[in-house]
Structure 1
Amino acid sequence: MRRDNFTVDIDSEPDDDGTPTISIDYDGPSGTLRERLTTTTDGTLDADEIDVTFRRQAGADSGVLSLTNRLTGEFILEVVADTEAMQALVSAAERHDDDGEFEVRLTDSGGKSLVYEKRTLLVYDHDGSLLRQRSLIPGGVEL
């Protein structure tokens, strides 16, 4: 899957004190996204089986938002996202919930959506160093 098959909308100020949300729409070949979100044994990946990361790009106002399968390390998707919008989401998630809860909503080309409630979002600089103060890391989690 190519990055240009995805569009991202980051809602850091949801209505009625809702959960900050990263909405990712996929318009590529039918079924491809679902295949990457399906395990061979139990069906669709659960929220605790998916990692969300954001890697800033040097000299740019954007970076790469990635979702990976935590159990296998396999790539699920990458999409270009605005750095400022990602930081606004992190701040809003921290205000919404002490542990920084946010949602990732994935919608495939058939219009079917999956929603994952997440508490961890790791932000890296362009060299791959973790930016702890700009990340969502729940209390008690040691990296």
Structure 2
Amino acid sequence: MRRDYFTLTVDGVATDEPQRPVVTITYEGPTEQLESRLTKGGSLLSEEEVDVAYRLKDPLDADSPEGVVALADRMTGEYVLELNADADSVFEFIEAAREFGAERDNDDRYRIVLETDDGHLATYDMSSLLVYDSDGDLLRGESLIPSGVEL
């Protein structure tokens, strides 16, 4: 699937009170293709079956660094979807999720909503988001890693 078939919008990051940030990913390509990647054993992957990561394409200290948000099948490691996103937006989102989790003492720190032209496809309440630099090394300080989880 092409990355330019996806658009990403973020809500709940610029508020006075911490709230669960929501990432809405809208897919504007062939719906059957996304549905087949999200389906395993006849049903959509659950939030326990997916991982979310952000991989920088540019060095972190570059002007306006860009990266790729990826949703992957946790069991197989296969990418379900990938889309381009600027680092500033992603890091602002991660900070909002971190504040929400600390304020509410809640492991589900953010929500991902997947939509197509046909409507709602899936919603995932997530607690982790791993961030990697352009060389593929994990950036622990930038990542959302729930307490008690060892990598």
With normalisation by structure 1, the TM-score equals: 0.91
Within 5 Å, give how 1:112-131 maps onto structure 2: 112-131=120-139
AA aligned to 2:85 is: A
1:3-52 deviation per Cα after TM superposition (whole angstroms, max 9, x unaligned): 011011122427675311111000101221111111125x1111011000
Give 1:56's aligned residue: 56
Between the aligned partners of 1:91 and 1:14, the Cα distance in structure 2 is: 10
Structure 1 residue 75 and structure 2 residue 79: aligned? yes
Aligned-partner SS, 1:96? helix
Say which of 103, 118, 135 aligns to 2:143: 135
Q: Which runs of 5+ in 1 are unaligned?
A: none
Between the aligned partners of 2:132 and 2:9, the Cα distance in structure 1 is: 20
Number of residue pairs aligned between Structure 1 and Structure 2:
142
Taking structure 1 as reference, are residues 128 and 115 closer, same or farther at Cα in structure 2, changes over 3 Å only? same
Percent identity over paired residues: 39
Between the aligned partners of 1:14 and 1:36, the Cα distance in structure 2 is: 33
Give 1:23's aligned residue: 24
AA aligned to 1:123 is: V
Q: Which runs of 5+ in 2 are unaligned?
A: none
AA aligned to 1:34 is: E
The alpha-carbon deviation at position 57 of structure 1 amounts to: 1.5
With normalisation by structure 2, the TM-score equals: 0.87
Give 2:101's aligned residue: 97
Q: Is the 8 A contact 1:14 1:20 kept in 2?
A: no
RMSD, aligned α-carbons: 1.7
